[in-house]
Amino acid sequence: MKTARYTYYALLVLSLLTLYSCSSTKNLPAGDALYTGARIDIKDNKVSKKKKKALRSQLSSLTRPVPNQRFLGIPFKLYIYNKFAKAKKGPGKWIREKWGQRPVLLSDVNLNTNVQVLQNYLINKGYFHAQVAGDTTVKNKKASADYAVQTSDQYHIDKVEFRGDSSVLPQTIRETMPKTLLKPNDPFDLQVVTTERTRIDNYLKEHGFYFFSPDYLLVKADTTVGNNKVDLFMTVKPETPADARKVFRIKDVFIYTGFNLEPGQMDTSKRGATFYKGYYVVDRRKIYKPKLFQQSMAFDSGDVYNRTDHNASISRLISMNIFKFVKNRFEVVPNTDSALLNSFYYLTRLPKKSLRVELNGLTKSNNLTGSNVTIAWRNRNAFRGGEQFVVRASAGFELQYSGQFKGYNTFRFGLEPSLSFPRFLVPFFNFNTKGGFLPRTTITLGYDVLQRQKLYTMNSIRGSYGFTWKESLEKEHELNPIEINYVQPVDITSEFTDSAKNNPSLYTTIDTQFILGSSYSYTYTNVLNYRPVNGFYLNAGIDLSGNIAGLAMGANINKGDTAKILGKQFSQYTRLQGDFRFYRKVGEKSVWANRIFTGIGIPYGNSSALPYIKQFFSGGNNSIRAFRSRSVGPGTYQGPQNAGLLAEQPGDIKLELNTELRFPIVGIVQGAVFIDAGNVWLFNEDKNKPGSLFTNKFINELAMGTGAGVRFDLNFLVLRFDLAFPIRKPWLPEGERWVLGQFDWGNSEWRKQNLVFNLAIGYPF
């Protein structure tokens, strides 16, 4: 039976291949053939097999046209085109134009042009005596282009010299020689020569040569050295303009704050300019304080021009988020013996006030579905110093329409005013950062209400005072010296109280929480989007609460000695966390993504556990996807099976490991396979949760799950569907925690208990 089934499948595949083969040459013009691609034959035996393979791939990619696209060796798009080739209108024409691809013909191939392109490429790579010949092969209405390549010996660099007189330009160019990309014994490569010219130009732009260009550099190659060697001489072209040879300094900086982009509206006169600490600010309506621009500009009068400060000034002005457009130009100061530039900045204002509405939808793996709306009113330049005053009002809900816990809905309401300043706002100090990003000081207040129907209502008041600044595009710091959060229950139902009697750990959910502390986080990333790249992401932070007050009051909860502020017991802890992600490109459009998350909260002094809102959770859409949201742990403890919406299991310590292979399927559709592992634990023992304490056996207590997903990447939005199931359950007895052999796909009860569907927006990491 099994042999017959395999034979049937083989015949079916063979039949399909034959069908596609016949249909691919359908509707070809008379006397023409279907072009199937180029074949490169490298004749030189001196070239190694590895280099031949690489060179063959490079040369093949240069030939034109590109043959019809194939998937698993089958030109599906060509088949669709031929299927609807005669459709003049209607659905058939739409399908052909949308999903089909016309046949690429032999007549589309220009053999001589391809031969010339391949020969030029080889010469640019140092094969100065390379020869290429082209021909075509036609069989059964299919044709290929065959290129015979004789590479000859590749030339290598013997020596490199930077030549020139003792004037400032050649001398500055010679300063760059220790970091030259042109190395003796390296193969000659025209692309490296071009990159070297750009490198030198970048260096010159940092040292005042504003009008210089890479085109003014000439690299002379001497191939008469012998032994397939070449000498390279870097020189400045004699026709280089005089201004390109000069080091320019900044004289005056003019800033126009009301520049109008409409034709005929450009007013760049200096009338009404205010001189402030070296800058001329043209702000006739007095909308901005001149100090705002003094802290934003990287140039000072008398500075040598450099590109870094040039770009930094523009970036800092844009990052204030009060200007729609920033335009810059430099102008040579006339009638002077010195090389001087005047700098002009033209700023187009954003509307002073704006209203923004955001509507979000969400779904969780614990079967809750909901939405959230946020209305944000913004006042830009609130006090004429670039300040941003924002008031956000939000409302949201999470509903469960079916099941045992129908009606246990969640509602959230919040109001958050914030005021941010484009500088460090520190009493008695006046300092700034360098680079293209202005620091920002933000003062935030917030009031939130969380209502869980039939259970409880919580009120929260919070406030913070902190700073955000970026060293560069990759590095960001956030420091909040003051963070206050007060959470208090205002309405607890008898139903919740009855549930808590059977599960006392539920009381932590409604504890009054008073956090008085500070936090700091550091973020580094060289991955600026989720496209396939090699890179990594790191976010590390520390969160402190109640340490100064606890030391001053000498609290020790283990001895029954607690301290209070304004009659309220405050939390005391140190909380550390780190999120490390590593991305490895494994194909043209595929990436292997990995994450390690670690967190530890150490309660002491006035606290025996972290406050609920600071604890860690595991399980859910962006965590271990094979388990319901917040349901894993702590440790080997398994909460009550009938807890429903109260099944959240927090911990003081967390370890999570994720790995995911992402690959394209077709168009905007991408696929993924993944494995997640992790758990949370308690720092101090809880007798109501046996097995929850963190010990040296934590590795043996990890939950694990695996699954696959489909993602629709719309560039501005990624819609993610993941289906996962557990392969290791830590609450089972030792020796029985792996459940790989217990799959029962045909059993509806097994599917209900083990298959977890996740619908989410964005990638999990």
pLDDT tens for 601-647 read: 999 888 888 888 899 999 988 899 999 888 898 999 887 655 555 56
**Count of helices and strands (H, E) across the chain:** 12, 29
Confidence label for 409 from pLDDT (cuts 50, 70 and 90):
confident
Of 284-288, 568-572, 641-645, the range with the lowest mean pLDDT is 641-645
Closest CA to 518 of 489, 561, 549, 487: 549
* Mean pLDDT within 325-340: 91
For residue 668, what pLDDT is reported?
86
For residue 532, being part of any structural domain is answered with no
Listed range (5-14, 130-139, 621-630, 749-758) with the worst mean pLDDT? 5-14
Would you place residue 185 in the very low, low, confident or very high pLDDT band (cuts 50, 70, 90)?
Answer: very high
Both 150 and 48 in one domain: the answer is yes
CA dihedral (54, 57, 61, 62) positive or negative: positive
**Calpha distance 483→497 (Å, rounded):** 31
Q: Inform me whether the pLDDT recorded for 29 exceeds 80.
A: yes
pLDDT band, residue 267 (cuts 50/70/90): low
If one counts every other C-beta atom within 10 angstroms of the C-beta of residue 661, the result is 17
Mean pLDDT of 460-468: 95
The pair of structure tokens assigned to 368 is 């809750």
- pLDDT tens, position by position, 140-154: 889 999 999 999 899
42 backbone dihedrals φ, ψ, rounded to 5°? -90, 115
pLDDT of residue 410: 86
User: What integer pLDDT is reported at residue 427 of this predicted model?
Assistant: 78
* Cα–Cα dist 80/83, whole Å: 5
For 361, 366, 467, the CA distances from 759, given in Å and listed in that order, are 11, 11, 35
Q: 225 in a domain, yes or no?
A: yes
Whether 535 maps to a domain, the answer reads no
| Residue 134 shares a structural domain with residue 182 | no
DSSP state of 612: G
Q: What is the pLDDT of residues 493-526, one digit of tens each?
A: 888 888 877 777 777 778 888 898 899 999 999 8
Q: Which of 45-49, 337-341, 571-575, 593-597 has the lowest mean pLDDT?
A: 45-49
What is the β-pairing status of strands 718-728 and 410-421? unpaired
Same domain, 279 and 213: no
pLDDT digits (tens, 9 = 90+) for 238-266: 999 999 999 999 999 999 998 887 665 55
HEC sequence for 2-63: HHHHHHHHHHHHHHHHHHHHHHHCCCCCCCCCEEEEEEEEECCCCCCHHHHHHHHHHHHHHC
Both tokens of residue 183? 């190395």
Q: Distance (Å, rounded) from C-alpha 285 to C-alpha 271?
A: 12
Q: Which residue in the block uniquely carries the two structure tokens 């079967």?
A: 367
* One-letter-per-residue 3-state SS of 414-464: EEEEEEEECCCCCCCCCCCCCCCCCCEEEEEEEEEEEEECCCEEEEEEEEE
DSSP three-state, residue 618: coil
Going by their DSSP bridges, the two strands 279-282 and 273-276 should be labelled as antiparallel
**Dihedral angle over CA of 162, 163, 166, 169, nearest 10:** -60
Domain edge (last residue) among 324, 349, 374: 349
In this structure, the answer to whether residues 188 and 226 fall within a common structural domain is yes
Note the pLDDT of residue 11.
45
Q: Are residues 86 and 18 in the same domain?
A: yes
Question: Does the residue 510 lie in any domain?
Answer: no
In this structure, are 225 and 121 located in the same domain? no
Q: What is the pLDDT of residue 530?
A: 63
Which residues is 284 bridged to in the sheet? none
pLDDT in tens, 72-84: 778 888 888 888 8
Which residue from 393, 445, 438 is spatially nearest to 419, judged by alpha carbons?
445
Q: Are strands 273-276 and 229-236 parallel, antiparallel or unpaired?
A: unpaired
Is 196 inside a domain boundary?
Answer: yes
CB-CB neighbours of 229 under 10 Å = 17
Average the pLDDT over 712-730 and give the result: 89
- Rounded to an integer, what distance in angstroms lies between the CA atom of residue 148 and that of residue 126? 18
Please check whether residues 98 and 167 belong to one and the same domain. no
What residues contact residue 668 under an 8 Å CB cut-off, 6+ apart? Answer: 712, 713, 714
Burial of 133: CB neighbours in 10 Å, binned 0-12, 13-18, 19+ = middle
Distance between alpha carbon 348 and the CA centroid of its chain, in Å? 29
Same domain? 161 vs 223: yes
Domain ends where: 296, 320, 349? 349
**According to the model, what pLDDT value does residue 716 have?**
75
CA distances, 315 to each of 319, 342, 344, 473, 553 (Å):
6, 19, 15, 11, 48
Which of 620, 605, 687, 686 is CA-nearest to residue 653? 686
Q: 520 in helix, strand or coil?
A: strand
Tell whether the model's pLDDT for residue 230 goes beyond 70.
Answer: yes
Region 4-21 average pLDDT:
47
Q: Distance of CA 444 to CAs 218, 260, 486, Å?
A: 58, 34, 14
Q: How many domains does the chain have?
A: 4
Identify the domain boundary among 191, 222, 245.
245
Give residue 38's pLDDT: 93
Q: CATH no. for residue 41?
A: 3.10.20.310
CA dist., res. 248 & res. 241, Å (int): 14
pLDDT-derived band of residue 384, with 50, 70 and 90 as boundaries? Answer: very high
What the block records as the tokens of 305 is: 């021009």
DSSP for 84-150?
TTT--SHHHHHHHHHH--PPPBGGG--HHHHHHHHHHHHHHTT-TT-EEEEEEEEETTEEEEEEEEE
* Cα torsion 736, 739, 741, 746: sign: positive
Confidence of residue 365 (pLDDT cuts 50, 70, 90): low
Backbone φ and ψ of 495, nearest 5° = -65, -40
Q: What is the pLDDT of residues 477-496, one digit of tens each?
A: 999 999 999 999 888 888 88
Residue 70 Cα distances to 73, 76, 531, angstroms: 5, 7, 23
Residue 759 within any structural domain of the chain? no
Task: Tell me the average pLDDT across 99-117.
Answer: 92
State whether 12 and 125 are in the same domain: no
Domain that holds residue 211: 156-245
In a domain, 505, yes or no: no
Q: Which of 49-63, 373-387, 741-755 has the lowest mean pLDDT?
A: 741-755
Q: Is the pLDDT of residue 310 over 70?
A: yes
On the CB side of 571, CA atoms within 13 Å amount to 30
Among the listed ranges 2-6, 244-248, 351-355, which one has the minimum average pLDDT value?
A: 2-6
Mean pLDDT score, 548-577: 80
Say if residue 315 is in the same domain as residue 340. Answer: yes
Lowest mean pLDDT among 176-185, 269-278, 551-560, 671-680: 551-560
User: What is the gyration radius of the CA atoms in the chain, in angstroms?
Assistant: 34
- Within this chain, do residues 319 and 340 fall inside the same structural domain, yes or no? yes
Q: What is the pLDDT of residue 640?
A: 66
| Residue 402, pLDDT above cutoff 80 | no
- pLDDT-based confidence at 661, cuts 50/70/90? very high
Give the Cβ contact number of residue 674 at 10 Å: 20
Residue 202 or residue 453, greater confidence: 202
User: Pick from 397, 353, 390: which is nearest to 371 by CA?
Assistant: 397
Mean of per-residue pLDDT scores for the chain: 87
Same domain assignment for residues 40 and 75: no
Residue 341 backbone dihedrals phi, psi, to 5 degrees: -125, 140
Helix axes 190-205, 168-175, angle to 10 degrees: 120
Is 127 inside a domain boundary? yes
| pLDDT surpassing 90 at residue 404 | no
- Residue 221: pLDDT above 50? yes
Nearest to 39 by CA among 144, 143, 114, 150: 144
Q: Taking the CB of residue 205, how many other CB atoms lie within 10 A of it?
A: 18
Q: Tell me the C-alpha distance between 273 and 532, whole Å.
A: 50
Distances (CA, A) of 611 to 464, 486, 560, 624: 18, 11, 18, 23
